Structure formats: C-alpha cells, structure tokens
Amino acid sequence: MTKKFFGTDGVRGRANVAPMTADMALRIGAAAGRFFRRDQSAAHRVVIGKDTRLSGYMFENALTAGLTSTGMNVLLLGPVPTPAVGLLTHSMRADVGVMISASHNPHHDNGIKFFGPDGYKLSDEAEHQIEALLEDEIEPAQAENIGRAKRIDDGRFRYMERVKSTFPLTHRLDGLKVVVDCANGAAYRTAPEVLWELGAEVVNVGVSPNGFNINDGCGSTAPQLAAEMVRKHGADMGICLDGDADRVMIIDEAGNVADGDQIMALIAKRWADEGRLKGHALVATVMSNLGLERHLQEHSIAMHRTDVGDRYVVEAMRQKGFNLGGEQSGHIVMTDYATTGDGLVAGLQFLAEMVRSGQPASHLVQQFEPCPQLLKNVAFQKGNAPLDAITVRQAIAEGEARLEGKGRLLIRKSGTEPLIRVMAECEDELLLNTVVDDIASAVQAVA
C-alpha cells in the first residue's frame, strides 16, 4: 500500500506548504501520540530534537501541542543530530522520538522523522497505522491527562559522551589537524567539541547557523568549501556532515573527497580483519558502486543491496544480524554504536584507522577503483507520473538492452524530493553518458 504522507524518511516538504504545515504537524503529533499511548493509565513520554532551520521552531511547537493533547509528556532536546534522538529515545525510556529535519535539503524544506522506543526508525507498517489515524478524528486526552513539556538542557552532552566512547581508549588525536564542516546544521556545537576533546586541532566550517544557511554551499552535499579549507590550513583530513549529521563525506589532505562507499569499504575490511564484522557482510543500497561490490568480493565479504534509504539498510541489517551498512551518500550505520546513520561516529572510525595505521588520509580514502557511474536528477511537476509515460518506458528498455552484460541501470523516483533519478554504471563511459542522457531527456520531455 502506498503511503500518502510518509516518504523514505518520514514526512518531508517545503515549510508552510502542504503537507509540511503547522496544522498538519499538530495532527501528526496527535496521531503519533494516540498510536504510542496505548496504555491510557501509564505515563508516556516523547523526545523531540531538531536541526537549525527557522521553521523548526514552528514545527517543534505544533508537534508539542499535538502530542501533549493526547497525553504524551514531551522532552525538548533543541538542536541535536538525528542519531542523538535515536540514542536518547532509547536511553530515556521514551515511547517515541521525533527529529525535525529535512537532512541535506535547503532551509526552506523541513521534515518529521519518528523513532520507536528501541531507538530505531519506524517501520512502514507503523507509518501506515499513523497515517490511518490522521484520516480519522483523533481522540484527545481528558483535561486532567494532558501532557507536559520540559526542555532537556544536557541532551547534546549525553550524545557527545556516547560518541567519544566509540573511539578507542588507547588512541588520541594529538598532532592531527581536522577540518570539520557542520553544514550550519544540528552538529555545529557537538562535532567540533568532540574532536577537540579527543585531542585534535580543529578548524571549524559551517558552525554559524542563522536559520537560513543550513546546507548552503557547505556540508556533505557541497564539500568543496571544506576541501579548500583542508588545503589552506594544511589539515590532515576533513569531515563533512549534512544538516542533521547522519551522513558524512571524508576529505584527504590533498582535498580529495571520499563518499560513503569508500568509507564503508575501509571499515568493512578493518572489522573483517579484526573478526568484528558480523556475518562477514555489508548492507548497501542499489546506488552503491559496482566497484565496491567487486572490492568486497576480493576480500570474501558479502554485500547485500536494499532499496534507497538508510531505514531500509537498517531493517536488512537487523533481519540478518549484520552490524555494518550504509549508503553511497554518506549514511554509515554501525549498530554496535548507533541505531541510525551517524556521520561523526563514522568520521571517528576513519580517524581511528589513521591513528592505528599511521597512514595519511589519502592512503585510506581510495579503497577501490570505482566503476564509472553517472547520476542525473530530473525535476518534475507534482501530480505528474513521468515514469509511466510510454516514451520513457521505451527509453529505459532501450538503455537496458544497450547496457546488458556491460553495466547496470537504475531509474527511481526520489522519496524526498520531486525528482526522477537516472543512474547507470558502465566501463564504457561514452555508452554510459549516451544511455543516461537519452533517458533523462525522455523524462524531461514529459515532466
């Protein structure tokens, strides 16, 4: 069954435009409160975190109103990374956690992500049930049972201590200069402080949020600024986070950028050598490079692919008992440490390998030679269904036929933005460009 409001990572859209309005946020909060407050006689609580978008204030208040109206007690964390919400939902024995963020999107977008009491993102089934409640009249609590709201001032410090505990006690970052780009987002205080406390000399980028500059020319989707700062300051490496700090890109001392595939390859090989890689396998999505799969095979490490979305990666990891997975976009999930992607923890794992091996970042970021890959995003008008058009289906079929035995093709609708993503991999770069261009053009013609 198709979900009406929830996408691949919660409810997301442009702030003050349906479905991301204050009224809808209030209703979503009330529906979630009714869904999780099953025992009417017991006290229930929810933790709410947010990133630094201006609209976060509006959605925080609206969600609080909706949740307290159904008897939930709300604990407000303020600006914290998404993984902090997963951690604190579980450690504070909350019934549900909420993160208000549109991740890597521009400031004018926002989103609402839910975590269950175990700290993991909600399943599709749970989201369907919340949507069903949204369609009906939501029963409010009796006046004497309305919930309370309380601000929690030390949430980020609890998260910081957990993050530091993932770094080997035998290691320090003394003598290392690290550029950290926080995208003017949720980790603008936590990431620099953690790195400094572990001994690094820290060069800060993107740590002055004003409500509008989140992900604006900085962060994991625009690592060029951080790369420039690495070269300018002679840093040993750089860590680029996104707006809610659940994804990361790594930059070496020469300013070269390593994506999530390279980081996963490094961690998988290290953990396999140490006997820590459960199932001797890695979970990645259909977007991960064919070169990663070949590299893992060379080291007898299995690779399991899922649909795009770190939630689906985590679901597969939990089902199969694996402890490492992620996405090319930089979500690195290590369930030994966190319930969702954590860019800072992944960055610390990379730094730990630098310290352990004594190798420069440039030696560690190039774990395998990527297969040539091309991705084009084609915007379309809401309400259109370009992938259903005959001309598009014909272009895709022709592309698949031309790539058969030479590469692979992936066409999908984004779960967070009105985009059709056209991606292909092929050693023949001329053929690669031709196939992707032809399909993108066909989509554009009907978008």
- Catalytic positions, written as ranges: 103
Question: Cα 9–14–16 angle (5° rounding)?
Answer: 120
Helices and strands per DSSP (H, E), number in the chain: 14, 18
Hey, what are 67's tokens? 């949740």
Nearest CA to 240 out of 251, 228, 256, 232 is that of: 251
412 pairs with which residues across the strands? 421
* Spatial separation of the C-alpha atoms in residues 192 and 13, rounded to whole Å: 30
Helix (H) or strand (E) holding 219: none
Which amino acid does the sequence have at 368? Answer: F
Instruction: Judge whether 149 and 77 are in contact, CB under 8 Å.
Output: no
Say if CB 390 and CB 443 are below 8 A apart. Answer: no
Give the separation between CA 176 and CA 172, rounded to whole angstroms: 9
Question: What span, in angstroms and rounded, lies between the C-alpha atoms of 215 and 209?
Answer: 10
Q: Are 317 and 335 in contact (CB under 8 A)?
A: yes
Residue 66: strand, helix, or coil? helix
